Chains A and B, each alone.
Chain A
Amino acid sequence: MLTFLLAQLAILAQTGAGEMENGLKAIGAGLGYGLAAVGPGVGIGIVVGNAISAMARQPEAAGVARTTMFLGIAFTEALALIGFVVFILLLPS
């Protein structure tokens, strides 16, 4: 949904210019961000899932598992954020 919104947003930002090139750029930016979000999405799912099973198996180590989970999310998320940066950079100025 976010991807769609951001793509739409990029297109909306464009209504004044209305050039083919910029429109394509906007579509590319939206698609690029969407594709960049796929991998990290799966990755964060794996990180959180394993962290939860670790917490369930050893509730006394839940604090450590949670901290490590956030670290893992942060590292994984960086990839999605690079996609986001590309989206921002690609936005037709």
Chain B
Amino acid sequence: MLALEFPPISHLFEWPEFAFEGTPMAINKTVVIYLAAFVLTLIVFGVGGSKKKLVPTGLQTVAEVGIDFVENSIIEPTLGIAHGKKFLPFLTAMFFFVFFTNIFEVVPLVQFPANSRMALPIFLAIVVWLVYNYQGFRNQGIAYMKNAIIPPGVPVAILPLVALIELLQVLIIRPASLAIRLWANMVAGHLLLVTFSVLSAALWDSTKVGAVLPFAVLILMTGFEILVSFLQAFIFTILTAVYINMASHAEH
């Protein structure tokens, strides 16, 4: 048998605390990545925004392309530019924060997607849940609950069932699926990369030649995970916009 010993899965995702151990403020690798993503986002917008050049370069381009992307690809097809204007800062911040926490999956020497810990996805999902429910009550008043759980044109016979499903949908399934989607994609991506790197390391130790194929797949998967990091940030943000839009208007 190869010297292939796979680390237990919990060891891939749980990092030892190295400051304030045992307290609720304990810091581990995941927390450091959150802070790094926080600082990176602020740098992109702070430095990119303080250069007011007519022809943007460097970070200014990143910040402006980011805002344009959120406005044209996320808000425009869902909320509409006029209506979605006030959500633009929220969605931009969310997109960049999620993207930076994801992309650490392939950043050399860090190699850990902070969103493969459930903490941030579930927190963001709760924030989204609060935002779209608040938006619903603000736009439609108390009729929001009725419009949300009773879709128009449903036969009375199955109405209780549909209403129950819709209620669960609004209250639990939407935020839960939002959080689980992000978390599970990142966990799966990290497992994939670890699997192939452990495999190629073990094969390199034993046969040398055998490591070529898993290593090639590892490189391909690294590229694929960059795409996934971006796509999951995009999907998380666009689903937020979709949920806000659903809560803003009664269905016709």
Chain A residue with the shortest CB-CB distance to B13: A88
| Closest Cβ–Cβ distance, residue B238 to chain A (whole Å) | 7
For residue A64, CB closer than 8 A to chain B, the reply is yes
Q: Once the chains bind, are A64 and B77 in contact (CB under 8 Å)?
A: yes
Q: Does A56 contact B (CB under 8 A)?
A: no
The dominant DSSP class at the B interface is: helix
Residues of B within 8 A of A84 (CB): 184, 187-188
Contacts A70-B231, A81-B181; is A12 near B239 (CB within 8 Å)? no
Closest chain B residue to A11, Cβ basis:
B6
B235 interface residue per 8 A CB criterion: yes
For B77, list chain A residues within 8 Å (CB). 63-64, 67-68
Tell me the count of chain B residues lying within 8 A, CB to CB, of chain A.
24
A27 interfacial by beta-carbon distance below 8 Å: no
Whether a CB of chain A sits under 8 angstroms from the CB of B73 is: yes
CB neighbours of B8 from chain A (8 A)? 13
Chain B residues within 8 Å of A70, by CB: 231, 234-235, 238
Other A-B pairs, 13, CB within 8 Å; known A2-B192, A63-B77, A88-B184: A9-B195, A12-B5, A12-B6, A63-B73, A64-B77, A67-B73, A70-B231, A73-B235, A74-B239, A77-B181, A81-B177, A81-B181, A82-B180
Seen from chain A, the residues whose Cβ lies within 8 Å of a Cβ on chain B are 2, 5-6, 9, 12-13, 15, 63-64, 67-68, 70-71, 73-74, 77-78, 81-82, 84-85, 88, 91
Interface residue ranges, B against A (CB under 8 Å): 4-6, 8-9, 73, 77-78, 177, 180-181, 184-185, 187-188, 191-192, 195, 231, 234-235, 238-239, 242
